[in-house]
């Protein structure tokens, strides 16, 4: 899926960004959105209904199916065993779940905070993360500095937060976040010593 998504998966920023997406897609309060870590990556989403039953979407980890569905929605397209082998739950064995470690992965708390702040903060979080990941891939900062860059950028943006932004303001603060995040590798002393 590419370097960016791989790093987001390692930092769990992907989960934090998905919380913000779920808030807007399902008009759900942040208090009603819970992150659960599922190491097998077989269950891609679960929704608890009013009657307390839980509906889950299960599949081997592969982005081809979500992409296919986005192209065919609301219909489902037949796919053969050759294209997508069946999910054999007996061979899989077990499905496990655990709570996220917010100390080890502060990305999720940063995303919840940005989401609750609303307005331009969610775009700033996303843009700062994209820039921080780019800097990490280019070996300008270390892995743990990704969290620092995003947090410092969001903290700096607090003073200029726009609650109901126009499209122009959203674009402006996206670019601002990228520029500000890029300066942190030097001014905050985050650039790692290259050996």
Indicate the pLDDT class of residue 194, thresholds 50, 70 and 90. very low
Q: For residue 99, which phi and psi values (nearest 5 degrees)?
A: -75, 150
80 pLDDT above the threshold of 80: no
pLDDT value, residue 33 = 92
Provide the 3-class DSSP secondary structure of residue 43: strand
Report which DSSP code applies to 191: P
Beta strand segments in 17-106, E: 43-48, 54-58
- pTM, entire model: 0.82
Q: What does the pLDDT look like over 22-41, one tens digit per residue?
A: 999 989 999 999 999 998 88
136 pLDDT above the threshold of 60: yes
121 pLDDT above the threshold of 60: yes
Q: 């940005």: which residue's tokens?
A: 114
Indicate the pLDDT class of residue 185, thresholds 50, 70 and 90. low
């Amino acid at each position: 899926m590419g370097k960016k998504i791989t790093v987001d998966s390692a930092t769990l920023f992907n989960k934090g960004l998905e919380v913000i997406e779920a808030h807007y897609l399902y008009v759900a309060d942040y208090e009603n959105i819970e992150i659960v870590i599922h190491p097998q990556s077989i269950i891609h989403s679960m929704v608890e209904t009013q009657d307390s039953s839980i509906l889950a979407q299960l599949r081997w980890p592969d982005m081809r199916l979500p992409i296919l569905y986005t192209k065919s929605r609301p219909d489902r397209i037949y796919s053969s065993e050759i294209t997508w082998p069946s999910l054999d739950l007996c061979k899989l064995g077990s499905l496990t779940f655990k709570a996220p470690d917010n100390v080890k992965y502060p990305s999720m708390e940063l995303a919840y905070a940005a989401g609750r702040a609303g307005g331009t903060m969610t775009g700033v979080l996303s843009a700062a993360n994209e820039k921080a990941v780019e800097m990490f891939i280019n070996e300008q900062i270390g892995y743990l500095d990704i969290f620092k860059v995003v947090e410092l950028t969001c903290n700096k943006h607090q003073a200029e937060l726009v609650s109901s932004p126009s499209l122009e303001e959203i674009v402006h603060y996206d670019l601002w976040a990228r520029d500000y995040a890029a300066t942190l590798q030097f001014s905050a002393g985050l650039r790692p010593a290259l050996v």
